[in-house]
Amino acid sequence: MKREIPLIITFVAGCVFVIQYFIPHWPFNEFEQVFTDWFSIVQAFAIWLGALSLLKFSMLKIQRRQKDWYMSVIIIVGFAVMVAYGAYDGFVGMNANPAYSFRDPGTHFDWLYQNIYTPLTSTMFALLAFFVASASYRAFRARNFQATLLLIAGILVMIGRVPVGDLITQFLPESYRAANLADWIMNPLNATGQRAIMIGIALGTVSTSLRIILGIERSHLEG
């Protein structure tokens, strides 16, 4: 039964979602609402599971003094501080008059979010610019025809996506300026390729979904 029950749930939920897309009326719309709520609940638990798993992993790393274990200390302290201040602000705000939320501007939680979380995560993302530049200098080479095409397209889009591109190419006829060339690459060329990829992915998704709904593909039940 450990395998049969998940298979039955998958089959029923999958069929309901497919049918209600084409027949959005009773009883399928009601079923859809129920399964959508289930999905939200399961996902909410998944967030908790993820957080607890991260804590467990970090604690084990500290306990075993694995490489960079002090990073795990920062994770746990950061986690605890955010949760503690969120709970504190929530409790105080609940009893205040007028009541306020822990996410309101001016709370400790909001201060931590604005001044620590936001700059740290933005910095991580911003580092990409530096590594992309370094990698481009060392590895983005016109070694063959395909790589040359990619290189030319990349340069044209990079230049055409910023106003300096039009400044540099302003002596050219309107349709040959950097911005228009970038638009041409992005629209007909990129859109066509993307569409082909999307159709391929959609067909793959449909076939895999059918295999899962019909119980042919069971790898998701393992582990």
Report the alpha-carbon distance of residue 55 to residue 76 in Å, rounded. 7
- With 0-12 / 13-18 / 19 or more C-beta atoms within 10 angstroms meaning exposed / middle / buried, residue 109 is buried
Residue 127 neighbours by CB distance under 10 Å: 10
Q: Which of 166, 184, 209, 217 forms a contact with another protein (CB under 8 A)?
A: 166
Crossing angle for the helix pair 191-213 and 4-22, to the nearest 10 degrees: 130
Q: How far is the CB of 5 from another protein (least distance, A)?
A: 22
Q: Is 137 in the site for another protein (CB under 8 A)?
A: yes
Site for another protein in 104-123 (CB under 8 A): 104-105, 110, 113, 117-119, 121-122
- With 0-12 / 13-18 / 19 or more C-beta atoms within 10 angstroms meaning exposed / middle / buried, residue 129 is exposed
Q: How far is the CB of 100 from another protein (least distance, A)?
A: 7
Q: Is 172 in the site for another protein (CB under 8 A)?
A: no
Where along the sequence are the contacts to another protein (CB under 8 A)?
21, 29, 32-33, 36-37, 39-40, 43-44, 47, 100-101, 103-105, 110, 113, 117-119, 121-122, 124-126, 129-130, 132-134, 136-143, 151, 154-155, 158-159, 161-164, 166-167, 170, 179, 183, 186-187, 190-191, 194-195, 198
